Structure 1
């Protein structure tokens, strides 16, 4: 009978072979990505992904293996390939060769994402941030210390600071392409429009992803025209080589939609976390007892509470639609309370049916 040590040795050898094959797959993926670029084909091919997963599922079934496990593995490999191809395309088709960019707020998490993104496109990137090490080359503690000769300026500061920065830029008619990445637009919407009316190159975007994002496939970026079509096109071109989904929206509609997309989801998870925190129950115990729903909710709530609380406050406080959304959430909770308190099963069931109907694909 083969002993445990021998079997583990054999298992390790198999693991090393798997890693070697993954490396081989990555090398092939790079070559495929290069051909896609030369032929003008998009990075992501949904039909090909479907074929890969179907073939993997079929082969797993022939080997009497659990198809779900194999599909999970293949999806990880596909994601890795997409990330490799996307980075190569951004570098190859980058808009920054011989050009300079300033990222205001570049020491922050999202600001740093844009620093690295602009660098990957070949831009000579400078950072202006009071929290940055000003002794580092091309780093300033205040954007007003910089020369007015940047091709692109990204305003990635907190919302209230961004409002002040954009107002100051308007006053001095700052040159070059300027765009903000704010989660809300109300604090500086009018300033953006005045900048455009003054003939400044200005646009506004909202990246709907976090600073840990390393692949833009499946991620959304909202682009807003503030009155300068050419400026918006230039900003969109920066993301042309990525697999991000680009959405155009008016400034006026943006904040209303965000009151649900961010405002409601944030409020819900903050309330969820507060209830758990006040319950006196230990986190580890609840995690051990968690159902699938509770476990998923814990993960989302943790991501929310791990983020910047000052930013989350700004997203609620500076959006004129937030109170309406929070009031609607409070009313829904009260209706659930009343149904449970009064034993009204019919209304409780009806609420769940309304939710099911909303999420239905029909």
Structure 2
């Protein structure tokens, strides 16, 4: 028993050393973040990350450690290092951007994404106020008394509202004399096209963006933010792009007319497929825990993604299907592929089944 206690004590000592070294590493990362900010360097450097992970794999092999374990540990260290550097960058931006402080009005600021945007623009050093008919009882941001008061005060306007509401707001703003740039965040652009078109005609300065993440995101490393180029380029698109380029997010430029087609696949089809999968499991009559107890890795990976979908905002996910003009085509594609797969199996056409798998594999190999 004494030998076992000694072994356990040695493990505790090593655990303490690991935590001390982790703290030391984070302090060094903070210094790296300060240097990057001072020299206007991006927080995220994918080339450096690849070098670190390749080196980690080799060092793990040399040390007799499973490379996947070592890489998993290193990825988490990199993740929190980027978080640390992102925070430094935001703080230093806030400290150094007083001359460029803007008065930002968030319409729909009580929603989850509205609160995320409020925090983001505040972190950049801007003065943020909210307008929303439903006011939160607990928020550190102030509400303007009326929309007119907010518009008169604002130097930048953010629309963090549902898609159909966003179109109505744009149409209303077109009737007013507004010089401040407007940023809209909708997940689809076709439902707001009448508002965007009228904004172009009346000279309203609107920037269409789409953050490809939800309000629970804490760090922007590896996250995509789409900035749409419309038929008439917004005067403020470069300003908005520069704001987000100060973070570790990936900035994707996309023509406005292509946005919803892409979203029908990266959002609509992904949501639909996972909801169908969840509904098939639910209708089986077998308790989920019983399935999970006997499952393998494929089931576990798929369920992990599916859970992320089914616990999301139900109204938003319904509208992403309902309001996308490409959804009918998506349904037809699903029906066609299910029909082909069903026929290959029912008619014992092994070659057709294998060919379908091969075509899919070839598609994913393109990258």
Task: Please give the range of the TM-score, normalised by the shorter of the 2 chains.
Answer: over 0.9
2:129 aligns with: 126
TM-score, normalization by structure 1: 0.93
1:114 aligns with: 117
**Cα deviations across residues 248-284 of structure 1 (Å, max 9, x unaligned)?**
1122111111111111111111111111111101111
1:339 aligns with: 344
In structure 1, how many angstroms separate the alpha carbons of the residues matched to 2:282 and 2:144?
A: 41
In structure 1, how many angstroms separate the alpha carbons of the residues matched to 2:177 and 2:265?
A: 35
Matched, 1:266 2:271: yes
In structure 2, how many angstroms separate the alpha carbons of the residues matched to 1:100 and 1:2?
A: 67
TM-score, normalization by structure 2: 0.92
2:261 aligns with: 256
1:51 aligns with: 51
Matched, 1:101 2:104: yes
In structure 1, how many angstroms separate the alpha carbons of the residues matched to 2:149 and 2:9?
A: 61
1:315 aligned residue (313, 317, 320): 320
Query: Which secondary structure does the structure 2 equivalent of 1:249 belong to?
Result: strand
Contact 1:132 1:140 in 2 (8 A): no
**Cα deviations across residues 135-189 of structure 1 (Å, max 9, x unaligned)?**
8661258745634221221111111111111111112233312111100011112
**Cα deviations across residues 226-266 of structure 1 (Å, max 9, x unaligned)?**
32432211211211211222111122111111111111111
The answer to which of 122-131 and 303-312 deviates more is: 122-131
Provide closer, same or farther for how the CA distance between residues 145 and 287 of structure 1 changes in structure 2, counting only shifts above 3 A.
farther
2:246 aligns with: 241
Contact 1:180 1:204 in 2 (8 A): yes
In structure 1, how many angstroms separate the alpha carbons of the residues matched to 2:133 and 2:304?
A: 32
Matched, 1:40 2:43: no
The answer to which of 141-150 and 227-236 deviates more is: 141-150
Query: Which secondary structure does the structure 2 equivalent of 1:112 belong to?
Result: helix
In structure 2, how many angstroms separate the alpha carbons of the residues matched to 1:269 and 1:38?
A: 44
In structure 2, how many angstroms separate the alpha carbons of the residues matched to 1:337 and 1:140?
A: 58
Query: Which secondary structure does the structure 2 equivalent of 1:74 belong to?
Result: helix
Q: How does 1:1-362 map to 2 (within 5 A)?
A: 2-93=2-93, 97-133=100-136, 138-139=142-143, 143=147, 146-226=150-230, 227-361=232-366
Give the total of aligned pairs.
362
Query: Which secondary structure does the structure 1 equivalent of 2:301 belong to?
Result: helix
Provide closer, same or farther for how the CA distance between residues 102 and 63 of structure 1 changes in structure 2, counting only shifts above 3 A.
same
The answer to which of 336-345 and 52-61 deviates more is: 52-61
How far is the alpha carbon of 1:57 from its aligned partner?
A: 2.7
Query: Which secondary structure does the structure 2 equivalent of 1:179 belong to?
Result: strand
The CA RMSD over aligned residues, in Å, is 2.1
Provide closer, same or farther for how the CA distance between residues 215 and 307 of structure 1 changes in structure 2, counting only shifts above 3 A.
same
